[in-house]
Amino acid sequence: MDNVRSIGTEFYGDYNDGGYDKILFPCLKSLELVRMQNLVERMDAMEPTTTGMVFPCLKNLSISTCEQLESAPCHFPSLEEFDISQTKSTTFEKISSKLTTLTSLHISGISELASLPEQLLKNNSSLMYLNIWFCDDLVSLSPHGDVWGFYTSLRSLQISNCKKLSYLPDGLHTLRSLENFEDLHSLSFLTITSCKRLMGLPDGLDYLTRLKSLTIGGFCEELDSFPSLSSIQPASLETLELYGWAKLNSLPADIQRFTALTQLWIRNFDQMEALPEWLGKFSSVRYLYLRECKNLMYLPTAEAMQHLIYLHIFFLPQINGKMWKGKRRRVAQNCPYSKYLSPLKTD
């Protein structure tokens, strides 16, 4: 309807007929406004003084390619799914200002949208699906830090083609129901740790083609082995920090694929007694950090470790007692690694 510029109160019929208690569109569940190129105004049926209801059962609202729309109603007491694309940010903010029942929100191509409206984030505690695509002006998800009301409900978060996005909220780790998050092709640093119920890694990690640093582990202690890292792209990864747990007695063998590694951290592999000899194949690794592996007794041969320029050892009681002597903890003269341990940091 390219010629429609305004949707007035006539859209609601004679809503004054029968008094202010009249219910308008009492059974309507879905409403779409699509490709109305010149629509500027869609008036609200209700004045601030009325007590009647409009759209009491509306569950789905879709507004698409209404680029001139400047004003729109905001009375949707039961709305669950809101899909909006190719409209102005002021229109999106007005419509969403009083929404409290959303379970799904899809946003695409909203111009001049720097962040999601604060009231929208605070008031929708049942939101499960949040998709944001092609919002070129989006800088951050939240205008004032982590003011989210859906910490326990959000299951899926998708962000794609938002060129100016520069900040992801720190509160992502508190999203306890999150099942799906990626399409972040430019992500450089990723940390997934201390997830005591996590049994495996999410799908989609193979899309992280620019990942440089990965910190991962501390998962479900019922697992006897570390989850496979085969989905991680090996070419770009430079720093890998592995957190184990009480049961683990070996490193994940598939880390041998990461031939570009320069720094490797190994923590909390409590049942591991020896580092594998293949660790020496990492000719690119220059910095090796071993921390809190209580039963680790054996390192690879000195020849296998000769590429190291820095070795950090912390709380490895089976090794510390052999390598250090005296209160100053000097390197023992007969330590086979002494020529590779300069500079050496110990705690």
Per residue in 242-297, pLDDT tens? 999 998 999 998 898 998 999 999 999 989 999 888 887 778 999 999 998 988 88
Provide the token pair at 218: 């501390």
- The pLDDT tens digits of the residues spanning 20-43 come to 567 888 899 999 999 999 999 887
* 3-state SS, residue 90: helix
Which residues, in sequence order, are bridge partners of residue 191?
A: 215
Q: How far apart are the first and last CA of the chain?
A: 73
Task: Classify burial at 347, counting beta carbons within 10 Å of its beta carbon; exposed 0-12, middle 13-18, buried 19 or more.
Answer: exposed
Lowest mean pLDDT among 53-62, 125-134, 306-315: 306-315
Q: Which residues pair with 81 in a beta bridge?
A: 60, 104
Strand pairing partners for 63?
33, 84
Instruction: Count CB atoms within 10 A of the CB of residue 309.
Output: 12
What is the pLDDT, as a whole number, of residue 244?
94
Q: Where are the domains of the chain?
A: 1-183, 185-347
0.85 cut: is pTM over it?
no
C-alpha 41 chain-centroid distance: 37
Alpha carbons 80 and 73: distance in angstroms, whole number? 16
* CATH number belonging to domain 185-347: 3.80.10.10
